[in-house]
Amino acid sequence: MSKADLPQRAKVSGAVALEALQAGLQVDVHIHLRKIPLLAELTDDEIARVRADLRVRQYAKREVVLQKGASGDSLLFLLQGQLQVVDITEDGRAIGLRMLAPGDFFGEIAVINGSMRSASVVALSPVLVALLPRATALHLFSHSPSVANQMLRFLANKVQRDSEFRALLSIGNTGKRIYTFLDLLKEKKGDLLVVENLPTHQDIANMINTSRETVTRTLLGLVQQGVIEKGTHRLVIVDPEALQKLIQS
Q: Where are the domains of the chain?
A: 3-154, 171-248
Q: How far is CA 21 from CA 50, 60, 131, 226, in A?
A: 18, 14, 14, 46
Residues of the chain with pLDDT > 90, as a percent, come to: 43
- Tell me which amino acid residue 124 is: L
Give whichever of 49-53, 201-205, 230-234 has the largest mean pLDDT.
49-53
Mean pLDDT of 115-136: 92
Mean pLDDT of 175-192: 89
Give whichever of 19-28, 79-88, 109-118 has the largest mean pLDDT.
109-118
At residue 184 the predicted structure's pLDDT band, cuts being 50, 70 and 90, is: confident
Residue 24, Cβ density class (10 Å: 0-12 exposed, 13-18 middle, ≥19 buried): exposed
Q: Tell whether the model's pLDDT for residue 25 goes beyond 90.
A: no
Whole-angstrom distance, CA of residue 148 vs CA of residue 137: 11
CATH 1.10.10.10 fits 171-248, yes or no: yes
CATH 2.60.120.10 fits 3-154, yes or no: yes
Residue 63 has a pLDDT of 93
Residue among 106, 111, 118 at smallest CA distance from 69: 118
Dihedral of CA atoms 167, 171, 175, 179 in degrees, nearest 10, equals -20
Task: Give the neighbor-by-neighbor strand order of the sheet with 105-106.
Answer: 55-59, 127-133, 74-80, 105-106
Residue among 65, 99, 95 at smallest CA distance from 84: 99
Residue 161 has a pLDDT of 79
Q: Tell whether the model's pLDDT for residue 111 goes beyond 60.
A: yes
Q: Tell whether the model's pLDDT for residue 153 goes beyond 50.
A: yes
Facing residues of 87 across strands?
A: 95
Task: Give the neighbor-by-neighbor strand order of the sheet with 64-66.
Answer: 64-66, 120-123, 83-88, 94-100
Report which secondary-structure segment, H or E, holds 109: helix 108-113
